[in-house]
Amino acid sequence: MAVVIAMLEEFRDVAPLTAEGAAARFSAQEWTPGGKPRDGVETSWDKDGVGGWIQTFSSGAVSVNFYVWIRDVDESGYFDDLDAVYEEGEQALARFLPEIEESSLARHLDEAEQTAADKDEFIAVKKWTLDGRILTAGVIQQDTDLPVMVVVALEEPGTA
């Protein structure tokens, strides 16, 4: 998704990464605010079918996240065929990874090792370092009754 790559490029110039700085970049790139301000800063954004959100941790560190693909639960409130949905998410991730790896960011990316926490959190994941920050793209489902999503996160090292 070009809008995500464009935002990741924008965030390369934001140092340190702050919620205010991230929100200003979302606004400047004409993302639509989602009406979820926290501590006076809009934290939810949408553009071209992509959702973005800003998380601030108790340490003060900030993470900027995007979902580029989402599949909501079936009418039952769960997934009737969870394995098929996971596979669909993995395919969506596989289609998206080249957009990152062949983008203008490519020369700034260094592949990073997955941690045990990554393997617990993600169904499938790929990580890089980008100018001292961690860039993660993966398939995630945070609970059985929540959507399966392909997410991209840019975060300072040591954040949640």
- Domain spans of the chain? 2-155
Structure tokens at 77: 């409130």
Cis amide leading into 33 (omega within 30): no
Any idea what DSSP says for residue 156?
-
Phi, psi values for residue 33, rounded to 5°? -65, 145
137 sits in which H/E element: strand 133-140
pTM of the model: 0.90
Phi, psi values for residue 102, rounded to 5°? -110, 10
What string of pLDDT tens digits covers the 160 residues of the chain? 899 999 999 999 888 899 999 999 999 999 999 998 998 999 999 999 999 999 988 887 899 999 999 998 877 777 788 899 999 999 999 999 999 999 999 999 999 999 999 999 999 999 999 998 999 999 999 887 789 999 999 997 644 4
CA distance 125 to 102: 17
